Amino acid sequence: MNWIRVSLLFLFAPLPALAADERPNVLWIVVDDMSANFSCYGETLIKTPHVDRLAAEGTQFTNAFITAPVCSPCRSAFITGMYQTSIGAHQHRSGRGELKIHLPDGVVPVPELFQQAGYYTCIGNGLPGQPSRRKGKPRLGKTDYNFQWDESMYDSSDWAGRASGQPFFMQVQLPGGKLRGGRDEKAQSLTQRAKEEFGSAVDPQAVTLPPYYPRDPVLLRDWAAYLDSVRFTDRHIGEVIARLESEGILDQTLIIFLTDHGISHARGKQFLYNEGTHIPFVVRGPGIPEDAVREDLIEHIDMAAISLAAAGIAVPETMQAKDVFAKDYQPRDAVFAARDRCDETVERIRSVRTERFLYIRNFYPQRPLLQPNAYKDAKSILIALRSLHEAGELDTVSEQLLFSPTRPAEELYQWTTDPWQLNNLAEKPEYQATLKQIRDRLDRWMVETNDHGAESEAMYDSDMAVYLQKGNPAVPKNIKLMKRWAAEGK
């Protein structure tokens, strides 16, 4: 494995022991629905000077991946430093109905650990002036955890209320790719806003789409607006950095920047290909190597262990996150991810990624990739894709990868040379030994980490009762289809 600009000796140097009054602040910047489309990651259509600055003054990870490609399981994982499959929080927006999910014994959310250590804990947008209380409770930033948790683990929405000299743990939550909305008119509105506020907007015709998406005007406008959402996100991050500087605490603050999964698109968000799982991950702060780029595989949950260790708080032995800056850290030889039910749409997919190969197992291969889903199907990009499919106007690659009525049970890709996962090697004779080895690796991981597997019908019905209250007519239709397919063994 290659290492760039960082010697192993410097990379794994231990963080210095800190006295109580020298503990760093810890600030997470977590962005919704966004891939690594930043200048420092090679994006050329836009400039992102503030994220680039964090990378130049810290360590940038080029091979960081989430363990769940949708909001709530991902967030349930990073706030505990545990695989969402290990704690039973892997079904999207689960535990919201009559049946609840409780964390296993010994698993404690990271904010509680910081609070117990004397930190002031907060979650918001990172800028002053936001409302701090609502209906007698803190007005918090996005949480979206699938398990039962106590809001008192957050002291406030902002660090301004901390005691003098008290270190803080802050989660800055930003809407990211959600700024462009799901409808074409909202995307065009964001484009207009970019013209007004930046003096220019991304030209849809300059956009390069993944090869399985057609150059349809709706998709081009959406991707251009998405890139402008990256610009707005970068500007907000710059404002948070400026605030830290103005308060004289920037260099006393460990900053970790990442996104909660990749771009919300047909084969991105909710799926285990690069488009849905590869994320930016940058760390800046006391003891962190500057202007460093690391290529080892890491998981987004590692943010939990990095943060605790930097603050001098013991990382629980049962925590699956790893402090990738520890002196004794052994780089991972594989990272794992899982996709399960998203809203009313039942799904179960698992993956293991090594330095060279990505293996994906589809537990429901008799179902199409783009199963009916009220959330995604309401997006203009999906409406456009389905319309082109029905009209027979998609090319072979798009039809095969997006609209095949079934999927292979196993997929194997050489992801470093096939970044869009176009060429499935699983059935090629010369890759059978590799396939068996990586298949066995996934089997071991599922057993060793206590993968909770498929959702019970009782829990599904409990959560669907909440979805049905929203009144979307597509939801009951899709629930009925999910149950019929399950009865048919699909």
pLDDT reported for residue 131: 59
Cα 70 from Cα 79, distance rounded (Å): 14
pLDDT reported for residue 128: 87
pLDDT reported for residue 87: 98
Give the homologous superfamily in CATH for domain 3-7+24-490.
Alkaline Phosphatase, subunit A (3.40.720.10)
Residue 51 contacts residue 40 (beta carbons within 8 Å): yes
Helix (H, G, I), strand (E, B) or coil at 120: strand
Residue 339 contacts residue 420 (beta carbons within 8 Å): no
Residue 294 contacts residue 287 (beta carbons within 8 Å): no
pLDDT reported for residue 134: 58
Q: What are the tokens at 303?
A: 């943010």
State the pTM of this model.
Answer: 0.94
- Please check the confidence at residue 439 and state whether its pLDDT lies above 80: yes
Which amino acid type is present at position 259? Answer: T
pLDDT reported for residue 20: 53
Question: Tell me: the pLDDT tens digits for 284-332?
Answer: 999 999 999 999 999 999 999 999 999 999 999 999 999 999 999 999 9
pLDDT-derived band of residue 267, with 50, 70 and 90 as boundaries? very high
- Please check the confidence at residue 19 and state whether its pLDDT lies above 80: no
Query: Which of 52-66, 138-152, 329-343 shows the lowest per-residue confidence on average (mean pLDDT)?
Result: 138-152
Q: Helices marked H in 260-405 — which ranges?
A: 274-277, 302-310, 374-377, 380-390, 396-402
As a whole number, the mean pLDDT across the chain is 94
By the 10 Å C-beta count (0-12 exposed, 13-18 middle, 19+ buried), 81 is classed as buried
Cβ neighbours for 416, distance < 8 A, ≥ 6 positions apart: 355, 356
Question: Tell me: the pLDDT tens digits for 80-111?
Answer: 999 999 999 999 999 999 999 999 999 999 99
Which runs of E-coded beta strand occur in 95-202? 120-124, 133-134, 137-138, 168-174
Residue 173 contacts residue 142 (beta carbons within 8 Å): yes
- Please check the confidence at residue 9 and state whether its pLDDT lies above 50: no
Cβ neighbours for 357, distance < 8 A, ≥ 6 positions apart: 412, 413, 414, 415, 434, 438
- Please check the confidence at residue 6 and state whether its pLDDT lies above 60: no
pLDDT reported for residue 123: 97
Element (H, E) at 461: helix 457-468
Question: Tell me: the pLDDT tens digits for 21-59?
Answer: 689 999 999 999 999 999 999 999 999 999 999 999 999
- Please check the confidence at residue 438 and state whether its pLDDT lies above 50: yes
Element (H, E) at 242: helix 217-246
* Percent of the chain whose predicted confidence (pLDDT) is above 70: 94
- Please check the confidence at residue 16 and state whether its pLDDT lies above 90: no
Cα 279 from Cα 263, distance rounded (Å): 9
Question: Tell me: the pLDDT tens digits for 193-241?
Answer: 999 999 999 999 999 999 999 999 999 999 999 999 999 999 999 999 9
Residue 437 contacts residue 431 (beta carbons within 8 Å): no
Residue 434 contacts residue 442 (beta carbons within 8 Å): no
Residue 170 contacts residue 28 (beta carbons within 8 Å): yes
Element (H, E) at 271: none
